[in-house]
C-alpha cells in the first residue's frame, strides 16, 4: 500500500494542538509589530544624516558582521557540517535531519549558496514533558502540528524509528509478532515525508544575510506547493523586522536569535521556535477568534468555507491519488471584528438577518480575490491554458515581481478583480527606504485608498491582509440636491444606496 505525502500532510489545522504551537497575536499586536519598525525610525529623527555610517556600523556589530571583513574568513564548513559540529545547540535538529536523510544533500552541497533557519535545542524542547502513553498515536499529533518540535518529541518517544530496517527486523523476531513490520515501515516513511516537507520550509534557495532578509516582506522557501494549491509556487515566509533594537522575526512568532552564521554554502540563522508551514486562510482565521470571529461566523452562516479553505478530501481520495477541495489560490482582505463594529448597528443587524444573506454574500465576495496571490512584493494571477490539440489543461500564470534591481524602493498602482463580478479593487503598494542602511524600509498596501493594518500573512492557499474597515463597493449615491456622494468612503446613509447596490451587483 503506497502513501503519498500529500495525503498525510494537512498542514496546520484549527486543531487544539496547532493553536498551542503558534502564539496568538491580536491585530493590535500585529500592527504594533509592523509599525514598530517605523516608530523606531521616528525616534531617530533628531539624528543627522551624517551619522548614518555610525548606524550601519552599529547594526553590523550587533549582527556579528565585521564591516572590514573579507572573504578570507569564510568558514570552510558546510551548513550541515556546522550544525553537526555544534552539538550543544543543534543535536535535536541534527537527529531529525539524519532521520529524514534527503535534506543532507542540499545542506552539505558545497556548490550551492542557500539559507537555512535552524531551531536550536531549546526551540525543539516541549514546555512540558508528558509520560508516553502506549495507546497514544504520535502520528495524529504530528498531523495536527507538523512541527520540528513534534518530530523531535516523536523520535525521543519512539527510538525504534531511528533503527535500521535490519535492526527492526531482528528486534521484531525476538519479541513476538505483536507489531506488523510493514505497518512500522509505512509509519516511518510517513514521518520521513512530513519531516522532509517541514525541513524544506526552513530553507531558502538563495543565501541571505539578516540585513538582506530585512529588505523583504516575504521570501520564497525551498518548499514548493505540490498539492494543487498556491499556484504550484514556492511557499513563503513572512519577515517582520524591528529597527530598535535590530531584530528579525519569521511568520510573526519565530525570532532569529543568532544571525549570519557563515558557512561554505551560505548562511544559517538560529531560531527560538520552529517554523510551521501555514494552514489555509480559513484555518488561520479560526486560530484567532478574538479578531476574526465575526468574519468566520459570516463564512459559516453562508456555507462559504470552500471559498477560503483548502483541505484534504478523504472521501474521494485513494492511496497514491489524493484529492483536495476548496479554493487553491485566493487573496483575502480580512475585516477584523473591529471592522464589523465600525459599521452602523442597523446595517450589521441587516447583514446578519435572514433578509441580508444576499447582501452579506456579495459584500464578502468583494473582499476576496480568487486565483490571485497578492503580496507587497509580487502579484501572481493564475490562468488555465487548455491545449487545442489534446485538451490538456496546463495551469500557468502572470507573475509580476515589483522590486527588481538594486533599489528596493518602489510604488505600484493597479486594479485587481475580486470574486464579485464586474467590480475591481484599487491597490497601491509602497516600499520606501528611510535610511542608507540595508533593511531600513517600510512597506504598505492600500486597498481602495485605505491602508491595510497587517500585510502579507502567508497561507497554504494564498495570503491574508488584515483590514480594520469593511470595504465599500463602488456605487451610485446622490444627496437631495443631486450631488454625487459616492466618492465619500463612509457607511453613513447606507440605506440610500446599499440595497440598490445589492440588487444590481
Within 8 A by CB and 6+ apart from 483, the residues are none
Domain membership flag for residue 111:
yes
Instruction: Answer yes or no: do 313 and 456 share one domain.
Output: yes
Instruction: Answer yes or no: do 158 and 206 share one domain.
Output: yes
Instruction: Answer yes or no: do 296 and 400 share one domain.
Output: yes
Domain membership flag for residue 15:
no
User: Which has the higher per-residue pLDDT, 137 or 38?
Assistant: 137
Domain boundary among 251, 271, 291: 271
Domain membership flag for residue 250:
yes
Instruction: Answer yes or no: do 288 and 333 share one domain.
Output: yes
Instruction: Look at residue 21 in the predicted model and tell me its pLDDT.
Output: 53
pLDDT band of residue 333 (cuts 50, 70, 90) is very high
Cβ(442)–Cβ(455) below 8 Å: no
The listed range with the strongest mean pLDDT (19-33, 119-133, 153-167, 210-224) is 210-224
d(CA 373, CA 502): 27
The model carries a pTM of 0.82
Q: What is the pLDDT of residues 188-228, one digit of tens each?
A: 888 899 999 999 999 999 999 998 999 899 999 999 999 99
Q: If we measure between CA atoms, which residue out of 287, 447, 451, 467 comes closest to residue 372?
A: 447
Domain membership flag for residue 47:
no
Q: What is the pLDDT of residues 435-453, one digit of tens each?
A: 666 557 889 999 999 999 9
Instruction: Look at residue 259 in the predicted model and tell me its pLDDT.
Output: 95
CA 369 remoteness from chain centre: 17
Grid coordinates belonging to 292: 476574526
Alpha helix stretches (DSSP H) within 343-479: 345-351, 357-365
Within 8 A by CB and 6+ apart from 449, the residues are 426, 428, 489
Cis peptide before 245 (omega within 30 of 0): yes
Instruction: Answer yes or no: do 251 and 346 share one domain.
Output: no
Domain boundary among 271, 289, 324: 271
User: Which has the higher per-residue pLDDT, 160 or 80?
Assistant: 80
Number of domains in the chain: 2
Instruction: Answer yes or no: do 410 and 332 share one domain.
Output: yes
Instruction: Answer yes or no: do 444 and 462 share one domain.
Output: yes
pLDDT band of residue 490 (cuts 50, 70, 90) is confident
d(CA 216, CA 236): 11
**Averaged pLDDT of the chain:** 80
User: Which has the higher per-residue pLDDT, 51 or 204?
Assistant: 204
H or E stretch including 169?
helix 165-174
Instruction: Answer yes or no: do 229 and 324 share one domain.
Output: no
d(CA 127, CA 404): 43
Domain membership flag for residue 62:
no
Roughly what angle, to the nearest 10 degrees, separates helices 181-201 and 165-174?
150
Domain boundary among 271, 299, 316: 271
Own/partner contacts of 132-137, CB < 8 Å, gap of 24 or more, are 132/157
Grid coordinates belonging to 20: 498551542
Instruction: Answer yes or no: do 217 and 358 share one domain.
Output: no
Domain membership flag for residue 7:
no
Within 8 A by CB and 6+ apart from 340, the residues are 294, 295, 348, 470
Instruction: Answer yes or no: do 380 and 419 share one domain.
Output: yes
Find the mean pLDDT for residues 46-54. Answer: 40
Can you give the CATH number for the domain in which 95 is found? 2.30.180.10
Backbone angles phi, psi at 176, to 5 degrees: 85, 180
Domain membership flag for residue 66:
no
pLDDT band of residue 344 (cuts 50, 70, 90) is very high
Residue 457 belongs to domain spanning: 281-504
Instruction: Answer yes or no: do 170 and 85 share one domain.
Output: yes
Instruction: Look at residue 49 in the predicted model and tell me its pLDDT.
Output: 37
SS (H, E, C) 62-105: HCCCCCCCCHHHCCCCCHHHHHHHCHHHHHHHHHHHHHHCCCHH
Instruction: Answer yes or no: do 299 and 380 share one domain.
Output: yes
pLDDT band of residue 24 (cuts 50, 70, 90) is low
Distances (CA, A) of 365 to 292, 332, 357, 462: 16, 9, 12, 16
pLDDT band of residue 59 (cuts 50, 70, 90) is very low
Instruction: Look at residue 94 in the predicted model and tell me its pLDDT.
Output: 97
Domain membership flag for residue 38:
no
Q: What is the pLDDT of residues 380-426, one digit of tens each?
A: 999 865 555 555 445 567 888 887 656 678 999 999 999 999 999 99
Amino acid at each position: 500500500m503506497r502513501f503519498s505525502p500529500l495525503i498525510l500532510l494537512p498542514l496546520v489545522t484549527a486543531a487544539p494542538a496547532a493553536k498551542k504551537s503558534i502564539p496568538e497575536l491580536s491585530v493590535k499586536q500585529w500592527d504594533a509589530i509592523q509599525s514598530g519598525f517605523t516608530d523606531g525610525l521616528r525616534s531617530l529623527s533628531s539624528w543627522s544624516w551624517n551619522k548614518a555610517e555610525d548606524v550601519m556600523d552599529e547594526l553590523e556589530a550587533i549582527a556579528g558582521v565585521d564591516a572590514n571583513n573579507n572573504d578570507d574568513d569564510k568558514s570552510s564548513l558546510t551548513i550541515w557540517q556546522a550544525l553537526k559540529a555544534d552539538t550543544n545547540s543543534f543535536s535535536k535538529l541534527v537527529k531529525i535531519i539524519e532521520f529524514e536523510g534527503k535534506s543532507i544533500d542540499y545542506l552539505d552541497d558545497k556548490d550551492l549558496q542557500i539559507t537555512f533557519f535552524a531551531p536550536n535545542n531549546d526551540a525543539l524542547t516541549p514546555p512540558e514533558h508528558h509520560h508516553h502513553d502506549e495507546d497514544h498515536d504520535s502520528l495524529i499529533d504530528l498531523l495536527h502540528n507538523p512541527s520540528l518540535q513534534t518530530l523531535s518529541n516523536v523520535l525521543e518517544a519512539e527510538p525504534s524509528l531511528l533503527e535500521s530496517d535490519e535492526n527492526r527486523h531482528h528486534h521484531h523476531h525476538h519479541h513476538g509478532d505483536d507489531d506488523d513490520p510493514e505497518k512500522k515501515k509505512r509509519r516511518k516513511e510517513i514521518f520521513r515525508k512530513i519531516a522532509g516537507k517541514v525541513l524544506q520550509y526552513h530553507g531558502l534557495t538563495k543565501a541571505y544575510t539578516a540585513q538582506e532578509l530585512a529588505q523583504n516582506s516575504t521570501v520564497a522557501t525551498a518548499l514548493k506547493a505540490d498539492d494543487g494549491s498556491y499556484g504550484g509556487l514556492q511557499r513563503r515566509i513572512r519577515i517582520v523586522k524591528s529597527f530598535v533594537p535590530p531584530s528579525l522575526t519569521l511568520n510573526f512568532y519565530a525570532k532569529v536569535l543568532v544571525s549570519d552564521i557563515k558557512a561554505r554554502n551560505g548562511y544559517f540563522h538560529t531560531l527560538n521556535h520552529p517554523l510551521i508551514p501555514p494552514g489555509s486562510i480559513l484555518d488561520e482565521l479560526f486560530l484567532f477568534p478574538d479578531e476574526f470571529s465575526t468574519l468566520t461566523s459570516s463564512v459559516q452562516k453562508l456555507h462559504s468555507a470552500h471559498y477560503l479553505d483548502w483541505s484534504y478530501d478523504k472521501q474521494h481520495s485513494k492511496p497514491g491519488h489524493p484529492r483536495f477541495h476548496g479554493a487553491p489560490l485566493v487573496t483575502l482582505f480580512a475585516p477584523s471584528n473591529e471592522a464589523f463594529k465600525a459599521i452602523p448597528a442597523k446595517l450589521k443587524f441587516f447583514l446578519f438577518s435572514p433578509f441580508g444573506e444576499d447582501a452579506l454574500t456579495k459584500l464578502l465576495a468583494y473582499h476576496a480575490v480568487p486565483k490571485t496571490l497578492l503580496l507587497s512584493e509580487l502579484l501572481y494571477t493564475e490562468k488555465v491554458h487548455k491545449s487545442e490539440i489534446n485538451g490538456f489543461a496546463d495551469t500557468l500564470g502572470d507573475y509580476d515581481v515589483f522590486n527588481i534591481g538594486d533599489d528596493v524602493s518602489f510604488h505600484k498602482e493597479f486594479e485587481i478583480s475580486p470574486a464579485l463580478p464586474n467590480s475591481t479593487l484599487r491597490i497601491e503598494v509602497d516600499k520606501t527606504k528611510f535610511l542608507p542602511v540595508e533593511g531600513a524600509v517600510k512597506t504598505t498596501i492600500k486597498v481602495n485608498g485605505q491602508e491595510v493594518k497587517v500585510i502579507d500573512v502567508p497561507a497554504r492557499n494564498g495570503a491574508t491582509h488584515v483590514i480594520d474597515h469593511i470595504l465599500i463597493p463602488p456605487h451610485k449615491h446622490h444627496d437631495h440636491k443631486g450631488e454625487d456622494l459616492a466618492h465619500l468612503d463612509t457607511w453613513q446613509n447606507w440605506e440610500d444606496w446599499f440595497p440598490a447596490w445589492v440588487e444590481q451587483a
